[in-house]
Chain A
Amino acid sequence: DIQLTQSPSSLSASVGDRVTITCRVSQGISSYLNWYRQKPGKVPKLLIYSASNLQSGVPSRFSGSGSGTDFTLTISSLQPGDFASYYCQQSHSAPPTFGQGTKVEVK
């Protein structure tokens, strides 16, 4: 199975900060990489698909980049509702697999 490693596992930030999360994949997956946000006690929500495409209805402060084995999720200006956990997920090969998550906490 394809392994995904996110860094950092957690970070502390303030409202308005620019936040960057990295996802490294164990083998090349082209652009088959998706990002989800999971607020505490809530359901995961798709933010970015195919590495850089913003899911409909998702605010433009979220962006994704990368291809091959290295990917990045950027939040340009952190909002109160963005304190949550973020997961990357590869959709290149079965079984689809997830990163371990990055928890964004209040500084």
Chain B
Amino acid sequence: QVQLVQSGAEVKKPGASVKLSCKASGYTFTSHTMHWVRQAPGHRLEWMGWINAGNGNTKYSQKFQGRVIITRDTSARTAYMELSSLRSEDTAVYYCAKDPGYCSSSTCLNRFDPWGQGTLVTVSS
């Protein structure tokens, strides 16, 4: 079955960067898009961006543009999300989630199933 396994919890100081991983199994990794979504305490779920695992193309939310980089390693079947210039408001659980399709710059199903187990990132001085 499709499974997404994320890396462990992180504690970072303001201004630092964090890089999270999401290892996929149970499907053809390069045939799908992977999204990153976060859930901060008291806030609604927030989409951050996606990567096409096949060609490496990415699309980011304008809110995170310039601070987020999503990459992938096809041989490791793993997607990565790096967020820089961390601030306290970035304290959240970060999820990867598989798209049922393959996104282009103009079309994307933008549907999330399944999700990884989540990684808690705490930003504190």
Contacts and interface: CB of A to CB of B under 8 A. Distances in A.
B112 to A, nearest CB: 7
B16 interface: no
B44 A44 contact: no
Listed residue (B63, B114, B115, B118) with the most chain A CB atoms within 10 angstroms of its CB:
B115
Given A43-B95, A91-B110, A96 B115 contact: no
Interface in B34-62: 44-47, 59, 61-62
Interface residues of B, number: 20
Nearest to A100: B44
A99 B116 contact: no
B8 to A, nearest CB: 16
Interface string B85-98: 00000000001000
B44 A96 contact: no
A89 to B, nearest CB: 7
Given A43-B116, A44-B112, A44-B115, A99 B44 contact: yes
Nearest to B46: A98
A89 B45 contact: yes
A5 to B, nearest CB: 11
A36 B95 CA distance: 14
Given A43-B116, A44-B115, A55-B113, 17 more contacts: A34-B111, A43-B115, A43-B117, A43-B118, A44-B95, A45-B115, A46-B113, A46-B114, A89-B112, A95-B47, A95-B61, A95-B62, A96-B110, A97-B47, A98-B44, A99-B44, A101-B44
